[in-house]
Each structure stands twice: as C-alpha cells, then as structure tokens.
Amino acid sequence: MIEYMRLLFKILLIIFFSSNNLFSQGRLNPVEIPILLSGTFGEFRKTHFHSGIDIKTLGKEGLRVRAIEDGDLIRVKVSTSGYGKAIYIRHYDGTTSVYAHLKKFSSKIQQIIKEIQYEKEKFEIEKFFKEGEIKLKKSELIGFSGNTGGSSGPHLHFELRDSKREKPLNPLKYGYLVIDTIPPKIQNIFIYKFLKEHIYEKIKIELRENGNSYSSNDTIKINGIFGIGYSGYDKQNSSHNKNGIYNRELTINGENVFSYKFDDLIFPDGKKIDLLIDYEAYNVEKVRIKKLYQTINSKFSFLENNDSNGLFEIIKDSLYNIKIVFEDYNKNKSIVKMVIKGIENENIFNNSETDIEEKLYHPDIEYEKKYKMLNLKIPQDAFYEPTNLNFEYNSDTIKIDKFTKAPKKGLNLEFYLPKNLDSIDLRQSCIGKISIKANNKKNKIQYVFGVKSDSLINAKTMSGGKYFLTKDSVPPSIKPINFKNENWVNNLKILKIRVDDKFSGIKKYRANINGKWILMEYEPKSKLLFFEFDDIKFNTAELKLNLYVEDMVGNVNEFKTSIYRKIFK
Ligand SMILES: [Zn+2]
C-alpha cells in the first residue's frame, strides 16, 4: 500500500510539473498543487448547474491562489452568501477567470477593497474596475483559498467565462488536467410511463452490472409513452468525491433521442434546473434522478436537440433497443443497454382518470382559498405544469404537502394579523414554518420572510410545510470570544465576537471604536465577527467598542465595552 502511494505520488508530481510546463504557454493552475475536483462543471446543484470546477484545497483554507494569465482585475465581490469573497480577472483572449470562496485577498487587492469598505462603512461590497485600471500578471498572487459565502467546506471555486456573454465555460476544455481513469457510475435507471400528459408511473429497472456496462435482466414488456431517468455520478482518481457526469446520450434503435454534455452553460439554465430532475423524488425522497426527457420545453442551452423531448411511444410488438452512453471528460464511458418490447394496452388507468383530473391545479388558472386566519393564493404559473397539490387548514396552521412538481413562481400566503396588537407585538409578529419530514420529532421552527402591511403579512413560498403566525421576541446574542471587558489586548491581532440569533436571523450589525466605524467581517457559518487591529491606528489606549446587532424583525442587542491597547506609533 505504501509503495503504491509512493508511486502514485511520483506520478502525480511528474504530471503536475509536466502539466505546468505544458501550459506555461497557456493558462496556469490557480493553486500550487495538482488539481483534484470536488465538483465538476455543469453538475446539478440545488438551484443551478455548477458554473465552474471546485478545486480541492487539502481540506484546509489559506492556499495561495494565483492569476492564471495576464489580465485586468475587473470585479471584486465580498458577500456572506454566494461566492463569498470573489475575484474576476478579464484576460486578453476573451475569457474571464473567477476565483470564489476566498479566505482573503492578496495584500494589494485587500488594501483597495478595505479602502472601499471603510469609505462605504460596509463589509459586503461589490466593486467593478475599469479595463486597465488594475493590471495583474500571470501567476501573481491574488488571494488565499477559503470557505466563504455559500460554501460548505474549504475549496476553490474556479470559473472561466466568455467575457462578452458572461457565459461559463468548462475549464477542462482549456488545458486543465485532471487524472481520471474511472468511468461514471450508474446507480439506477427508471422508466417513466406516462398515464396522462403530466401524470406518470415510475418503474425501476433491475440492472446487471459488468464493469462499465449495465444491462436489464430481461426484455421489458410495456406499452404507451415513456421517458427515462437515471441516477449516477462520476469520480476522478485520488478523490472520493461523487461529481457530476460530463456527457450522456440516449439512443433508441440507433437514433439519438436526448443528449447533452457540459461544455458551456448560460446562467438562465439554472432557473429551470428542476425541470430536468424528477422533482418529486428529489423533494420527497431526497434522491436526485436526472431526466433524459422533458415534458416542458425548457430550452436549455446545452441540449443537443431542443426539438426532441426525449419521450417515446412503444407500439405493440415492436422492439426497442435502448442505449445510454455516459461519459466523463477524459472519455471514460459507461453504457446502459435495455430492450423493450411493446405489448397490448391494458387500459387499467381509464377508470381513475376523473379522480386524477379533479385534484390538479393548472398553471394558467389562478386559485384562492380563504380561511379564518389566512388566504392561500395559487397564482398563475405557480407551477410549470398541472400539479396535484394537497393542503389542509387546522385552527391556525396551514399544512401544505411537499410539492410533487417543480414550482415556477410558488405560492403566496397571506396571514391576517390579530387586531389590537401593540406596536412591539406587531413588529415581532412573523410567519413560522415547520418542515414536513417523515420523523420530524424536533419540530424546529424556521423563520419565513414576509412583507408586512397594517393588517397582513405576505409571504411567498417555494416549498410545502406547516405555516403559522408566530413571533420573535428574542434579540440576538453577543459574546466576546478572545477578550474580556476592561482588559489589555496588546498581543491581539484580531478581535473576535460571536453573534447569534436563534429564530429570525441576523439582519444587520454595526460596530465602532471610539465612535469611528470599524470593519467587522461576518462569517455566518461560524457566527463570528472579526476586526483586524491593523486597520486603524488609534491614538488612545482606551478603546471604547460599541456593537449593535439587529435581527430580521427588529429586535436589537447592543454590546458596549472598553479594552486597552498600547498605542502603536
Ligand atoms: Zn463551485
């Protein structure tokens, strides 16, 4: 085993250095270690197709990140969500490189950004620079890898875009080498038999697995209109991560029916991602089954043929050879083969037809249900397609079952606020939600953002759950982490304070020392606020710190303390 590891390490080193040489004329690896992926381009995420690659950073933060090519710094964004701290460099070949979730920027960029933050008195900023304003050299240090924003573990999100159209490109097409000799793994294949236009029955196909080829045990005997779905992933060498598959092609009797691969994307594709998965399986069973058909013409930019919806009709006594080829970027293939034979239509569903019809909510019709304490509005285009939606009202709670079809605009809830509330009760009133889970013993209440008028709170919802009127009367908590009141903090470089809000969450905060605004960086995952003493030279030893924190409904906590620090000249 040790020998093997040593050999593998040697191979990796050789490839790393030779690849660096190979591309010394081209783009540089943004990190100083061989590229291992924890995410591939195009892979399915909750609300989007992954627009870059996730480069592993040895499980830690702080790896040097370098510019892949000469270019102009055109944009820097600092956010507690999304890309966190991110840098955008426009190169002279028409591409832009993006580096996201950074821990911090290089001192050159950090200085520029801090100046803007102090000027605007804001931590979260976005700054666009003019072309040529700040030039960066290839391999110049631009920042350090991190875990900021919507990242759930240390890594570098790296993106290449077509600068003109802001179109994300698959970085692997542009010279980045990833060792991958492992074909995609297919977990399950499903056949969706359509009973009516938007109603189907899901059939799991038993597959025999032989290396990278999969086949159904027997000829599948069915009839009617069908689509196919799959679950599976792709792994690269030396990494355990289950990443997305690059290419898939469905052919029936040799004819290409539905295929797409991820060479590039457009951002609007992500808005419709739920149309390319079995939404019910994802939402209810938490299994992501990707569809090789579409019931709504979603016009994804990456679909090979947007005119073919991937659905096919099985005719009695005909044979259908189904072949699905899955391929990773390094051309490792897995192939699924099935044979379907058409049989007589059994017509078993005809009787239940009217039952099914009755419960459907149609996207071209607006519905409204009025209850004692609330209105439930199902607007036009609440869902992409006719949807079976179940809900029940009980005393003060509306329970909406988990959606089985992808929401487009979602539902609107309108809660009547009780009359004669005093101003504090009125401010603290909000909508709470309990998720519907199989064994939800904890019954944790989530805050639902709502817009308040005199007598109503309005909320939009994209998911089922139990919704009710509640209140948040607890202000955020504030706790110093690495200092105490009235203490000397000469050796402290960074001041850390933990802030937390149990229900509605933190909306804003503001800190100053001796009356002057200070930059406190906020990391919601660790619930920490940071201040770097190097930012400001104070001319008194006593530092009067004042921190104001407000939650989403306006409950406020204020923390005041004095600490002492030698005056640095
Ligand atoms: Zn990413």
Nearest CA to 381 out of 413, 414, 411 is that of 411
Residue with more model confidence, 196 or 2? 196
325 CA distance to ligand 1 centroid (A)?
26
Q: What mean pLDDT is predicted for residues 22-45?
A: 86
The Å distance, Cα 274 to ligand 1 centre, comes to 19
Per-chain mean pLDDT for the chain? 91
> 149 C-alpha vs ligand 1 centroid, how far in Å?
11
Give me the percent of the chain exceeding a pLDDT of 70: 92
Q: Looking at the domain that runs over 359-470, which CATH code has it been given? A: 2.60.220.30
Decide if pLDDT at 196 tops 90: no
- pLDDT attached to residue 7: 52
Token digits of residue 360: 């459907």
Asked whether the predicted pLDDT for residue 17 surpasses 70, the reply is no
Q: Kindly give, in sequence order, each residue whose CB lies less than 8 Å from that of residue 109, ignoring residues fewer than 6 positions away.
A: 73, 76, 87, 134, 142, 143
Architecture of domain 2-174: Distorted Sandwich (2.70)
Q: Which two tokens stand for residue 444?
A: 């944790």
- Predicted confidence at residue 24, as pLDDT, reads 37
Closest by CA to 325, choosing from 411, 254, 420, 392, is 254
Confidence of residue 411 (pLDDT cuts 50, 70, 90): very high
pLDDT of residue 436: 83
The pLDDT assigned to 13 comes to: 45
pLDDT at 400 over 60: yes
Strand 213-216 and strand 333-342: pairing?
Answer: parallel
Taking the centre of ligand 1 as the mean of its atom positions, its distance from the CA of residue 84, in whole angstroms, is: 11
Q: What is the pLDDT of residue 8?
A: 52
Tell me, in angstroms, the distance from the centre of ligand 1 to residue 156's CA: 7
Contacts with 520 (C-beta within 8 Å, 6 or more apart), sequence order = 123, 497, 509, 511, 529, 530, 531, 547
CA of 38 to the centre of ligand 1 (A): 8
* Separation of CA 516 and ligand 1 centre (Å): 37
Instruction: Give me the count of residues in the chain.
Output: 569
Pull the structure tokens for residue 58.
Answer: 């040895």
Decide which of 264 and 200 is more confident. Answer: 264
Of 208-212, 354-358, 425-429, 434-438, the least confident: 354-358
Q: Report how far ligand 1's centroid is from the alpha carbon of 449 (Å).
A: 27
Ligand 1 geometric centre to CA of 251 (Å): 31
- Per-residue DSSP letters for 254-296? TEEEEEEE-SB--THHHHTGGGGB-HHIIIII---PEESS-SS
Distance 35 CA to ligand 1 centre (A): 14
**What is the 161 CA–ligand 1 centroid distance (Å)?**
14
Question: Which is it for strands 528-532 and 494-500: parallel, antiparallel or unpaired?
Answer: antiparallel
CA 53 to ligand 1 centroid distance, Å? 6
Cα 42 to ligand 1 centroid, rounded to whole Å: 10
Place of tokens 């002057």: 516
Q: What is the pLDDT of residue 454?
A: 80
The pLDDT, as a whole number, for residue 439 is: 61
What per-residue confidence (pLDDT) applies to 14? 44
Whether the per-residue pLDDT at 64 is higher than 50: the answer is: yes
Query: 493-516: buried (b, 16+ CB within 10 Å) or exposed (e) per residue?
Result: eebbbebebebbbbeebebebeee
Numbered ranges of CATH 2.60.220.30 in the chain: 359-470
Q: Which of 129-138, 329-338, 433-442 bottoms out in mean pLDDT, i.e. has the lowest?
A: 433-442
Tell me the CA–centroid distance for residue 56 and ligand 1, in Å: 10
| Residue 29 CA to ligand 1 centre (angstroms) | 16
How many CB atoms lie under 10 A from the CB of residue 294?
20
440 burial via Cβ count (<10 Å: 0-12, 13-18, 19+) = exposed
- Tokens 């030698």: give the residue: 566
Span(s) in the chain for CATH 2.70.70.10: 2-174
Give me ligand 1 centre to Cα 347, in Å.
Answer: 47
Query: What's the 117 CA to ligand 1 centre distance in angstroms?
Result: 26
Nearest to 371 by CA among 388, 386, 391, 401: 391
Q: Give the model's pLDDT for residue 21.
A: 37
Interval 422-480: pLDDT, tens: 999 999 999 999 988 756 566 789 999 999 988 999 999 999 999 999 999 999 999 99
Q: How far is the CA of 264 from the centre of ligand 1 (A)?
A: 15
User: Residue 267 and residue 162: Cα distance in Å, rounded?
Assistant: 12
Alpha helices by DSSP H, 373-469: 423-428
Distance 39 CA to ligand 1 centre (A): 6
List where CATH 2.60.40.1220 sits in the chain: 477-564
What's the CA-to-centroid distance between 241 and ligand 1, angstroms? 13
| DSSP string over 477-516 | EEEESS--TT-B-TT-SEEEEEEE-SSS-EEEEEEEETTE
What's the fold here for domain 477-564? Immunoglobulin-like (2.60.40)
In angstroms, the CA 108 to CA 63 distance is 17
What is the rounded CA–CA span in Å between residue 42 and residue 270?
A: 10
Q: What is the distance in A from the centroid of ligand 1 to the CA of 145?
A: 12
Alpha-carbon distance values, 369 to 358, 361, 377, 385, 408 (Å): 16, 13, 6, 20, 19
The tally of CA atoms less than 13 A away on the side-chain side of residue 450 is: 33
Question: Does residue 1 have a pLDDT over 50?
Answer: no
- Coil vs helix vs strand at 107: helix
| Cα–ligand 1 centroid distance for 51 (angstroms) | 7
- Phi/psi of residue 72, nearest 5 degrees: -110, 135
According to DSSP, the β-strands at 411-416 and 477-480 are unpaired
User: What's the sign of the alpha-carbon dihedral 288, 290, 293, 299?
Assistant: positive
Strands 220-222 and 333-342, by their bridges, are parallel
Is the Cα torsion angle 47, 437, 231, 157 positive or negative in sign?
positive
Dmax (CA) for the chain in angstroms is 91
Contacts of 348 by beta carbon, 8 Å cutoff, 6+ apart: none
Report pLDDT for 304.
87
- Rounded (10°) CA dihedral 331, 295, 312, 225: 140
pLDDT at 5: 52
- CA-nearest of 431, 414, 411, 233 to 334 is 233
Q: Quote the percentage of the chain above a pLDDT of 90.
A: 82
For the stretch 135-149, pLDDT in tens is 999 999 999 999 999
Q: What is the mean pLDDT of residues 220-232?
A: 93
Instruction: Give me ligand 1 centre to Cα 474, in Å.
Output: 35
Torsion of CA 456, 461, 465, 470, to 10 degrees: -30
Angstrom distance (rounded) from CA 144 to CA 99: 10
Backbone angles phi, psi at 449, to 5 degrees: -65, 130
How, if at all, do strands 312-314 and 360-361 pair? unpaired
